[in-house]
Structures are given as structure tokens and as C-alpha cells.
Amino acid sequence: MEQRAQDPASWYLTRRLFLAGIAATFAIAFVSLVVQVEGLFGARGITPLAERMQALRAQLQGWERWQLPTLLWFGASDARIALLCWLGLALALCALAGLVPRLALAGCWALYLSLVCVGWPFLSFQWDVLLLEAGLLAVVWAPDGLQPFGRGERAPARVTRWLIYWLLFRLMVLSGAVKLASGDPSWRDGTALDFHYWTQPLPHRLGYFAHWMPEGFKRFSMLTVFVIELGAPCLLLVPRGRRALRQIVAAAVVFLMATISATGNYGFFNCLTCVLCIPLLDDRAWRRLLPRVGPVLAVSHVAPARWRRVALAIFAVLAVVPTTGLALGELGEFWSQRTEPPLIHEPEARPPAVLRGLVSLCEPVIGLVSPLASFNSYGLFRVMTKERPEILVEGSDDGIAWKPYRFRYKPLELERAPVFAGLHMPRLDWQLWFAGLEHDQPWRSEWTRAFLRRLLEGSPSVLGLLRENPFPDQPPRFVRAMVALYRFSTPEERDGSGAWWQRGEPQLFLPVEER
């Protein structure tokens, strides 16, 4: 059995590391959320889930509720919402310790899904559904038993490992393809990084210095992004030298994620993407990287039961068909939005009939599994923002003198250096960035009005999301939201004034609210 564990083609250690990485990511996500959940979704939060669930109960009856598979159907009080987070953290730690990994990860997945499917707008980021998809694959790949690792452990299923490759392939390739599909000229003329570092949602200090790197370096960096996103994953399709090529793919993706996290705050996204690279290395490679790890003993050579093979085959079909349909849909969008004139005159730039037909064949399965939010399409930074409108929230006792509310991570104070958030995802700060992009359509940000009303009420849970409350004794009589354009200071401006940012003239974003 020890000889089997040393087999260079084995994946026992790989699987355990992957499951530990997914469990750790779930733990990070739940810890980050539990400190915010009351302010975001509590009874006195910005978007109370209890009110939302009550409205949904009136709209959806019986099997219609399958559209939103959440445990919050049984109650959405503040205590229950917090309980979901704490229970998710406990199960993640169990999986991390190797205790009932399959059941523990299944619980993490179900609890996180319960929050994501009703947590608009603060749980609608791509890495939330990426965690759900990766978490479901981890459940399928995990061994059974109380403490299964090294105790009659079954061989990791090859099909599941390739499903993880397929997820990583889609994530990277589609992230590159949508940049070209958008028609944004900055992705084609090499100027995208002239805007990225200072217009991204939450830059930190290193992003400032990256922005002022030489132009040639930034264009080379952008080319590297496309090579890694569009080129490196294709190495997984090469039939020869797969082991070495997989290692190259893993190194390239991890390098890209490290550079992204070095210049911006993206919560657990970069960490999760690196975890998806773990199965690209087999046990022999990991033992070279982790020489102190002992051999896996007492593995089982018993073939899985027939029902297990059938169930895995059905899951693989349910995973591949909808994700393939979604990927083809992205390619169809790429075709229809291309800016270059076609070689043959076409009245409309429509995807080929074969592509449209394949997408339509996948649509029934997509509709079947879409409520699970675990079979997705991806694509980051589709369009590069060219300006940075920031929402400024202010309060006043008399409507004349206004005091600003301070946020933990938003770059509002000109002299304050951009802040590093680590693996934490500050969801209010992030969502206010999106609200700023809609400054010419403030009616689309209804939740921001609710945010202002909570400030007028002096909601402790909402104020806890902020860095500083300028009205510690009692809530203000008036609040308002302004919007102003920000940009990085030049090195000369920063040396002269100490300001990291320059700000334009503020304009009214939302009308004044009165208590």
C-alpha cells in the first residue's frame, strides 16, 4: 500500500490539499461575512433579509421556491443569519482538520448558497459563485467517512479532477475573451493598465506605485495577462508532456493572481483561484514541494460501486453541459460584438448557426441547475473604467455644515494612503464603487437610499461597517450623497502636498434625506 502511495500518478495528497484549500477559503468567506452580515442584512441593516424573505414567501409557493434554494425560508432573523455564518465557519474548520470532509464541505456549500441566492446586492460578485462551484466539486471529490485520509481512502476520481481543470480553464479563458468581446479599445491598444490601477474598486498602496511604472512595463504587463488568461490554459489540451505542462499552467496562474493581489483588494478571489491550481500537480510534485509530508498509507484499491460510477457520470453531465452552453454563449457574444469588419458581408454580426444551436441545446439543463449558482460563466474586467466617481456620504444637523462619514477601505480622504484589506471582502465599500459608476442614473441604486435612511436612524449595525461616525452622540438631522471624480496624485503632487488623491468638484448624487 505504501508503494501505491508513492506512485507518481497518484493524487491522494493532491486531493487532500485541494479540499483543505477550499475549506480554508470557505472559512475566510464566512469570517469576512459574519462581521458585516448584521449591518448588510439584519433587521436594522441596509437590505433586511427578513423583509425580503417575507415578500418572497408571498410571491413564490411550493416548488416555485426551488428558484431560491435557501435555508432562510425557515426564518431570517438576525440570529439565524449570523448562525448560518458561524455554522459555516465551524464546518469549514472541520473539513480543514480532515473530519467528515464530504459532509462538512456539503454543509459549507449549502449554507453559503443560502446566503448568496438572496443576498443581492452584496453577495453578487463572481467569486461568490466561483466559491460555490469549486465547493460543489470539492464535495464530489471528497472521500467518505469520519476521518478518511489515510484510512482505507479510495482513489480520487479522475473525472472530478478534470472537472476542476474545466472550471479553471473557463475562468481564465473567458476572463481574457470578454475583454476582447467588449469592444473596449483600451484592451486592444495596450492602454488598459493606464486606467486599471486607480479606477479599480479598492486599490491599495502598491497600486499607486504600479500606476506610475513606465508605460512600456504596463503594456508588457497587459500582454502577459492575455498570454496567461488565453494561452496558458490551452496547454491543458496538449496530449504530450501533460504533467510538465500542467505545472507550467499552475505557475502562470499563481503568478498572475499574486500580481493582481499585490495591487488591489479582491478578497478571497485570488486565493481561491490559486486553490484551483492545486490539482494540476500530482503527489510526486507536491512531495518535492512539501518534503516533510509523509506517505499516504492504508489506501483502498477496491473499485467504487457501480451506483457511485453512475452518479458521478450523471453529475459530470450536469456540470459539463450547462457550463459548456454558458461558455459558448460568451463566445457568441464575442462574435456578435467584434469590432473588426467581417470578411463576408453580413446584415447583422450574429454568431454562427451551429454555435447558436449548441447553446439552445444546453438551455434546458442550464435552467435546471441555475438555481444552485454552481454552474457558471465568468469574465472579469470586461470593460475598463476610465474614471473614478466616488460616492461621498455626509451628514448635517442644520443643513449648512456637513460632516463626512469615513469608510474603512474607500479612498475618500486625499491624504490617506490606499488601504490593504487582505483576504477580507468589505462589501459595502465595494458596492459603493459600483453605485458611483451609475452616478448619472442614481435611481438604479435604491439600496443607497436605504443606506442613508439607516444613517438617519443611527443604526448601530450599519455604523459598524464604517471607520468613523461623525455624529457619535445622536444621528444627524440630514444626510446626503455627493459624487466626485478622483484620480491618483502624480509623484510631484504627492511630494508637495502629501495627498495620494486629487478630487474634482463634488456634485449631488442623491437628494438630501431628512429625519
With cut-offs at 50, 70 and 90, classify the pLDDT of residue 172. very high
* Least trusted range by pLDDT, from 82-91, 192-201, 353-362, 506-515: 353-362
Residue 298's pLDDT is 58
Shared-domain flag, residues 12 and 145: yes
What distance in Å separates the CA atoms of residue 56 and residue 54, rounded to the nearest whole number? 5
Query: Are 365 and 322 in the same domain?
Result: yes
Dihedral of the alpha carbons of 500, 506, 510, 514, in degrees to the nearest 10: 100
Q: Are residues 333 and 420 in the same domain?
A: no
If pLDDT is split at 50, 70 and 90, which confidence band does 442 have? low
DSSP state string for 439-482? TT-GGG-HHHHHHHHHHHHT-HHHHTTSSB-S-SSS--SEEEEE
- Give the mean pLDDT of 490-513: 90
Quickly state the pLDDT bin for 299 (edges 50, 70, 90).
low
* Per-residue model confidence (pLDDT) at position 497: 87
- 507 in helix, strand or coil? strand
Residue 293 in this model has a pLDDT that exceeds 70: yes
Residue 378 lies in a domain: no
Residue whose grid cell is 434625506: 513
Count CB neighbours of 80 within 10 A.
14
The residue-averaged pLDDT of 445-455 equals 91
Residue 338 is placed in which grid cell?
467584434
Does the pLDDT of residue 8 top 80, yes or no? Answer: no
Same domain (yes/no): 350, 441:
no
Both 211 and 339 in one domain: the answer is yes
Does one domain contain both 255 and 325? yes
Cα(515)–Cα(509) distance, integer angstroms: 18
Strands (E), 233-344: none
Q: In which band, very low, low, confident or very high, does the pLDDT at 9 lie, cut at 50, 70 and 90?
A: low
In a domain, 383, yes or no: no
pLDDT value for 328 = 77
Radius of gyration of the chain (CA): 25
Q: What number of other Cβ atoms are within 10 A of residue 155's Cβ?
A: 18
Pairwise CA distance, residues 360 & 363, whole Å: 5
283 and 168 in a common domain = yes
In a domain, 379, yes or no: no
453/352 same-domain check:
no
End of a domain among 372, 402, 428? 372
Domain-located, residue 460: yes
> Residue 353: what pLDDT?
61
The number of folded domains in the chain is 2
Per-residue pLDDT at 334 exceeds 90: no
Is residue 441 scored above 90 in pLDDT?
no
**Per-residue pLDDT tens for 29-86?**
999 999 999 999 999 999 999 999 999 999 998 888 889 999 999 999 999 999 999 9
- Helix H or strand E encompassing 206: helix 205-211
Contact 393, 462 (CB under 8 A): no
What pLDDT score was predicted for residue 335?
Answer: 55
User: Is the residue at 381 inside a domain?
Assistant: no
pLDDT digits (tens, 9 = 90+) for 406-436: 999 998 899 999 999 999 999 999 999 999 9
Omega before 472 within 30 of 0, i.e. cis: no
Look over the chain and give the mean of its residue pLDDT values, rounded to a whole number: 89
Please state the rounded mean pLDDT for residues 102-129.
96
Are 25 and 106 members of one domain?
A: yes
Pair 394, 444 in one domain? yes
* Structural domain containing residue 407: 388-514
Quick one: pLDDT at residue 148? 84
Clarify whether residues 145 and 169 are in a common domain: yes
Q: pLDDT digit string (tens) for 338-390? A: 544 333 333 344 555 655 666 777 888 888 888 999 998 888 888 889 999 99
The reply to whether 13 falls in a domain is yes
Contact 29, 135 (CB under 8 A): no
Confidence at residue 487, expressed as pLDDT on a 0 to 100 scale: 96
**Residue 275, amino acid:** V
Q: Is residue 377 part of a domain?
A: no
Residue 78 placed within a domain: yes
Confidence of residue 152 (pLDDT cuts 50, 70, 90): confident
339 and 436 co-located in one domain = no
